[in-house]
Amino acid sequence: MLEHVPHWLGSALKGLRAGTDKLAVAQEGLGPFETLTLSSPAFADGARLPERFTADGAGVSPPLVWRDPPPGTAQLALLVEDADSPTPQPLVHAVIWGLEPVAGQLAEGAIVADGDGDAAGRDVGRNSYYREGWLPPDPPTGHGEHRYAFQLFALSEGVGDPGDSPGRTALLAAMRGRVLAAGVLIGTYSRAEEAPVGPVGAAAAA
């Protein structure tokens, strides 16, 4: 959709960005928490997302890998946000609730609506377009580099119930005070700018 925004308008909006301080992992009431290692075999932390995972390509979700969460973890939750969207709050690209509390991974294309996915027992929540599944990165042309934050949270027992198909607000309310560890992996993307793909395989931590 945003690929149709004219270059001059995207450039004019360059200074309008949600900001990293609005990301879920930076919100008060979630911590303090330990570090959780999160990485992808498809892109390094801080590197450009391959087109395949964006609205300019196949639009599938990228593969993710994480190491053992800390003792006491009851479940994991994933939230993907665009820190540079020209909106008051980061644009939500994916929500997954109820991941198994073990070292694991999400395969390429795994973030899909519940009815189209596997029987892994997790709940896929709503992105900013009020749809379940992966919302492919689609930054305005000329707006500059966008940082897409893949945030994985290890949650303790007693975490709240966000309901069926939760959005960002419900997820944050359910997680408040129950985050044992968190990890962040940043993938970038832009349109109409020089941005080569970097090395893959690096991990990031919150």
> Tens digit of pLDDT for each residue in 58-101?
999 999 999 999 999 999 999 999 999 998 999 999 999 999 99
28 Cβ partners below 8 Å, 6+ apart? none
Distance between CA 147 and CA 60 in Å, rounded?
Answer: 17
> Tens digit of pLDDT for each residue in 155-201?
999 998 898 889 999 999 999 999 999 999 999 999 876 545 555 55
Q: Residue 8: its pLDDT value, please?
A: 32
> Tens digit of pLDDT for each residue in 10-44?
354 455 688 899 999 999 888 789 999 999 999 99
Question: Above 70 in pLDDT, residue 112?
Answer: yes
Distance between CA 24 and CA 92 in Å, rounded?
Answer: 10
Question: Above 90 in pLDDT, residue 129?
Answer: yes
Distance between CA 62 and CA 106 in Å, rounded?
Answer: 8
What is the radius of gyration, based on Cα positions, of the chain?
Answer: 16
Q: What is 123-177 written as a DSSP string? A: EE-B-TTS-BS-----PPTTS--EEEEEEEEEEETT-----SS--HHHHHHHHTT
Question: Above 80 in pLDDT, residue 103?
Answer: yes
CA 169 to each of CA 29, 41, 174: distance values in angstroms, whole numbers, following the listed order: 13, 30, 9
Write the single-letter amino acid at 142: G
Of residues 196 and 50, more confidence is placed in 50
